[in-house]
Amino acid sequence: MPITRFCLAALCLSSLHAAEPITLKLFDSPPAKPAPVSEASAKLIATYGKPSPGHVMDVSDPTITIFKPEKPNGTAVIVAPGGGYMFMTYISEGSQVCEFLNTVGVTGVLLKYRVPTRDEKEPFAMPVEDARRAMKIVRERATEFGIDPKRVGLLGFSAGGNLLGHAAWDAGERPDFGIMIYGGGFLDYNDKTKFREGFAVPKDAPPMFFAVAHDDKSNPIEATRLYLEYKKLGLPAELHVFTKGGHGFGMRKMGNPINEWPQRCAEWMGVMGYLK
């Protein structure tokens, strides 16, 4: 389908759902709550997480919200917004993504994971636990949600991309495929050509789609290095590095080719058989 027709179809369908979004708690009682943030983290949160309708902060009781499409094709994607493990960019990296996924028949599952966890020894640990719990719930209730339990993907932005990487490449319940948008955190701090000590992409890693801007600090190096590892291991992957876009573009339209990443992603999902 030509890009223009595809975009028009997306706009026409963006408000259509089989039902209103449903929100579910991940735990009857969360295993742990984020510790109080340090003074330094509090200053960062105040700087980058200024109160707005698009920012979600102070989450100790994580949830998922199910966005069901008008005509589900059996695939679900759990969406993890970014925010440096300080807050979540909940609209342009969350609900709007789920609405777009609905236009191509995919059930969007918006993950509200525990934050802030920036001062934890492993800031990703609680959010990854939440993502894995979300995958488990979605798979267990696949019939109810109208999805195939073997077609559950995970999409993450920035810190959500780091969450995705740990969920996809560390031991434990994994997504069937991943979509990493300007994610990172897997390279050596001093030498960005190497992975950090102890990290490796497993030989059975799920298929992955990467999208990032060339002018986004070290994130294009990160995406390229991860893609090359996929190539080395003979695993399915696709990489898009756009000249301009910076960090945090999400679903915002700013007149750059990078703003078409959702269409490129949908095309990849189609090639991989996730839109049948």
pLDDT in tens, 193-245: 899 999 999 999 999 999 999 999 999 999 999 999 999 999 999 999 999 99
Type of residue found at 268: W
Q: What is the mean pLDDT of residues 248-267?
A: 95
The CATH number given to whatever domain includes residue 127 is: 3.40.50.1820
DSSP states of 68-91 as a string?
-BSS--S-EEEEE--STTT-EETI
pTM over 0.85? The answer is yes
Judge whether 94 and 82 are in contact, CB under 8 Å: no
Type of residue found at 2: P
- Residue 72 in domain: yes
Token digits for 9? 């179809």
- Residue 262 in domain: yes
Beta strands per DSSP E along the chain = 22-25, 55-56, 63-67, 76-80, 88-89, 107-112, 152-157, 177-181, 208-213, 237-242
Task: Indicate the length of the chain as a whole number.
Answer: 276
Q: Which residue range is the domain that position 249 belongs to? A: 17-271
- Residue 7 in domain: no
Q: What is the pLDDT of residue 2?
A: 46
Q: Is a pLDDT exceeding 70 seen at residue 248?
A: yes
User: What single DSSP character describes residue 143?
Assistant: H
Q: How many domains does the chain have?
A: 1
Token digits for 88? 């979540």
- Residue 12 in domain: no
- Residue 254 in domain: yes
Q: Which residue has the tokens 């510790």?
A: 35
